[in-house]
Amino acid sequence: MEKYLYWLCFLSIMKRKVNRVGQNTLTVSLPAKWVKNTGIKAGDELDIEEEGNNLILVKEKPAKKIKTVVLNIDTFNKMLLNRYFHEFYRQGVEEIILKFTKEKMPDYKSGPSIYIDKHVKKLVERFIGLEITSQTKNKIVLQSLMGEEEHGKMDVVQKRVYFLVKEFLDEFVNAIDGDFEKFRLAAYDYHDNIAKFSYYYLRLLHLSDIPEDKKARLFGLFMTIDKAMDKVRHTSERVFEMKKMTPDVKSYLKEIFSLFLEQFDMIFKQNYSIEDLNGLIKRRYSLVKKVESAKFNEPALKTISECKMLLDTMVDFSETYVSINTEKYISATG
């Protein structure tokens, strides 16, 4: 992260009067020319660091877009290429150029190999705003078609992820007493759609001017949510293998899913309180004890064990809640 450091002692030729605001707070105005040159606006945050008798003002610049990356993928496999795409997209890369001399690459999961051009066409469907703009026998060029106005949609995209997760979990429970095989086959599409909007959110987050500590928390949380949804998809496989769902397993799944959704919901609720969070934590520990003390047959144990990861996300959600709401607890008088 680039930082501009400005030593106040260098500004000694610009004398500034120290003013009192309230009983215990002293303020100094910033020089107009310096404010203009650095692009500081009212409401921006500055870090203040002490060094002896001097103070250093630190203005953090928003993350810059990476213009172009070039990948020679002759030695890549399917999983590796996917990981590069995910990371470059999250980092805000505007153009990805793929170069290759072979028409296929290994697919170690489904095997033995896949056509590169067909896979890339399918892969870009996961990334909002990323499109193939040029293709030859040995090169594929992909570009982001998102405009600057997209960066103001973070709250909307965050809520979109929440409602997609809610739809996935609700449909899971509803399908238990119905055509679960149909739902199991659709679970991959549910997860892919959630992942698409999650990656979009992470891209917008990376390019935003949110303070780095909050950005790091939100980034880690949404990566955890993505992994949790993958576990839900695997849970659907275990439920299908059970053939017959027992009432207790269904009840536990409903409770686990409900708790996970409430954790997610608190992140963007304006009126969520410490008392609410305290109750949620208490409920989580109660559910963990109940699940761990229950007796399951082998198929049921596999099912519950697969989705138990959702119960282990409380720390991620609560720490993110604290991070993004820190200002509520800062005393004006210190």
pLDDT for residue 53 = 67
Alpha helices by DSSP H, listed for 243-313, are 247-267, 274-293, 298-307
Cβ neighbours, 10 Å, residue 64: 11
Q: Where are the domains of the chain?
A: 3-60, 68-144, 149-329
pLDDT for residue 9 = 40
161 CB-side CA count, 13 A? 25
**Of 232, 250, 83, residue with least CA distance to 177:** 250
The residues, ordered by sequence, that sit 6+ positions from 291 with a Cβ below 8 Å of its Cβ are 252, 256, 304, 308, 311
CATH of domain 68-144: 3.30.110
| Tens of pLDDT, residues 60-81 | 555 556 789 999 999 999 999 9
CATH homologous superfamily of 149-329? Phosphate transport system protein phou homolog 2; domain 2 (1.20.58.220)
Angstrom distance (rounded) from CA 304 to CA 310: 10
pLDDT for residue 114 = 96
- Parts of the chain with a pLDDT under 50: 1-12
**Of 248, 255, 269, 273, residue with least CA distance to 310:** 255
pLDDT for residue 8 = 41
DSSP 64: P
